[in-house]
Amino acid sequence: MANRSSLRVGVVGATGLVGRILLGILQERRFPVGELRPFSSGRGASAVLWRGRRIPCAAASLEALRACDLAFLVSSDEVSERFGPALAAAGVWTIDDSSAFRLHKDVPLVIPEVNAQALSPRRRLIAGPNCTLTGAAVVGAPLLRAGGLKAVRLASYQAVSGAGRAALEEYHAQARRAAAKAGRSGPLDIPPYPEPKVFPKPIALNLFPQVGSFDRNGDCSEEFKVREELRKIWGARALPISATTVRVPVVRCHSLALWIETRRPLGLPRVRALLRRAPGLKLWEGDYPTPASALETDEVHVGRVRRGALPKELSFWVVSDNLRKGAALNSVQIAELLLKKRWL
């Protein structure tokens, strides 16, 4: 166990959307960082603000990261593949937000409120889940315990920032163009945009049912992740899960229309009581959450709780901040658990 007041903490991808939020959360929650080592691509000079000081970012290297007690990987699948296993083998607790190892059998995939028991003192590489399914995982967990799960269906409404900084820039460029032309050539016009580089279609004043690339069955990679990661987190290997993932012109916070069919019947008052006391959840009654109301909050927000069309089916509207609970906050909560267990 490292000296807790002087933990050396590396953040790979410190200048990215998740990385910057992560640095803020470490400070807000007074995580005991003795020395911060921020890393970026090294493609240009960059720095981050840490406790009121500007700290320059170094290009990530195994040598520099090996000297850390804890490393957060918030960069890309390729960078995580390069550093994750090597760091864990060198004894560095490594929390990875990429999708590189989430489905690997030796890597715990953890949402602390849902499956903290998946952590082990011997597994130093830990994955955080895809930001789209976090809300469904947190809402489904108390229902799984109380009634068992028979089937899950969802449609996502995913914010642009879920795809990183370059995607956000592409959206803003299109949105500026749209605003400049609004109503000029006709009240219903969408302006012509330059060919998108990050997304498959224009996103401002538009949406599309594709997040990632399509496989042979017609599923896109996000739909595969939602299904397989939820099964792993809930420990429900064969659970039928249908998902359609949609990118929408919202800057931040992912929303879900979610239908959960339980094995045993659960009345609505019981379901509401379960959700009200579930950790990490905020139940909305009388009103419903939106991306604007969930922005910069830590909880998963759930509203419009009602019966579905099938006998044991329940219907929910779920919103969570993809950059906080969907990524950075979840990773910091995992690190806090490691501290609490005195493994770190």
C-alpha torsion angle, residues 135, 137, 139, 143 (rounded to 10): 170
- Tell me: does residue 16 bind ligand NAP (CB under 6 A): yes
Task: Determine which residue in the list 147, 162, 212, 291 makes contact with ligand NAP, applying CB under 6 A.
Answer: 162
Residue 291 near ligand NAP by CB under 6 A: no
Note every long-range contact of 200-205, with CB atoms under 8 Å and residues 24 or more positions apart, other chains counting. 202/174, 203/160, 203/170, 203/171, 203/174, 203/247, 203/249, 204/171, 204/174, 204/175, 204/177, 204/178, 204/249, 205/174, 205/178, 205/249
Report CA 187 to chain centroid distance, whole Å. Answer: 37
Question: Is 43 a residue that touches ligand NAP (CB under 6 A)?
Answer: yes
In angstroms, give the least distance from the CB of 44 to ligand NAP: 6
Minimum separation from the CB atom of position 301 to ligand NAP (A): 16
- Contact with ligand NAP (CB under 6 A) among 12, 88, 274, 318: 12
If the CB atoms of residues 83 and 93 are measured against ligand NAP, the closer one turns out to be 83
* Minimal distance, residue 62 CB to ligand NAP, in Å: 11
Q: First-to-last CA distance in the chain?
A: 5
Stretch that binds ligand NAP, among 62-70, 72-80, 271-279, 295-303 (CB under 6 A): 72-80
**Smallest distance from the beta carbon of 93 to ligand NAP, in angstroms?**
18
Residues numbered 118 to 137 that lie near ligand NAP (CB under 6 A) are 131
Selected catalytic residue, list 57, 68, 254, 301: 254
- Binding-site size, ligand NAP (CB under 6 A): 30
Determine which residue in the list 165, 181, 304, 312 makes contact with ligand NAP, applying CB under 6 A. 165
Catalytic residue flag (residue 131): yes
Catalytic residue among 131, 220, 253, 301: 131
8-state DSSP, 57:
P
297 binds ligand NAP (CB under 6 A): no
User: Tell me, what amino acid is at 28?
Assistant: E
What kind and span of H or E run contains 316? strand 313-320
* Cβ partners under 8 Å of residue 215, min gap 6: 221, 224
Please select the residue that binds ligand NAP; options are 94, 156, 161, 210, rule is CB under 6 A: 161
Distances from the Cα of 130 to the Cα of 51, 100, 158, 162, 254, angstroms: 29, 11, 12, 9, 11
Position 224 contacts ligand NAP (CB under 6 A): no
Q: Compute the Cα dihedral for 17, 20, 25, 31 and give only its sign.
A: positive
**List 40, 156, 210, 245, residue binding ligand NAP (CB under 6 A):** 40
- 76 or 94, CB closer to ligand NAP? 76
DSSP string, 187-205: TT-----PPPSSSSS--TT
- Say whether 136 sits in a helix, a strand or coil: helix
Backbone angles phi, psi at 173, to 5 degrees: -60, -45
Residue nearest to ligand NAP according to CB distances in the complex: 16
Contact 138, 113 (CB under 8 A): yes
150 binds ligand NAP (CB under 6 A): no
**Token pair recorded at residue 304:** 């419009």
Catalytic residues: 131, 254
Q: Which residues bind ligand NAP (CB under 6 A)?
A: 12-19, 39-41, 43, 46, 60, 74-76, 79, 97-98, 131, 161-162, 164-166, 322-323, 326-327
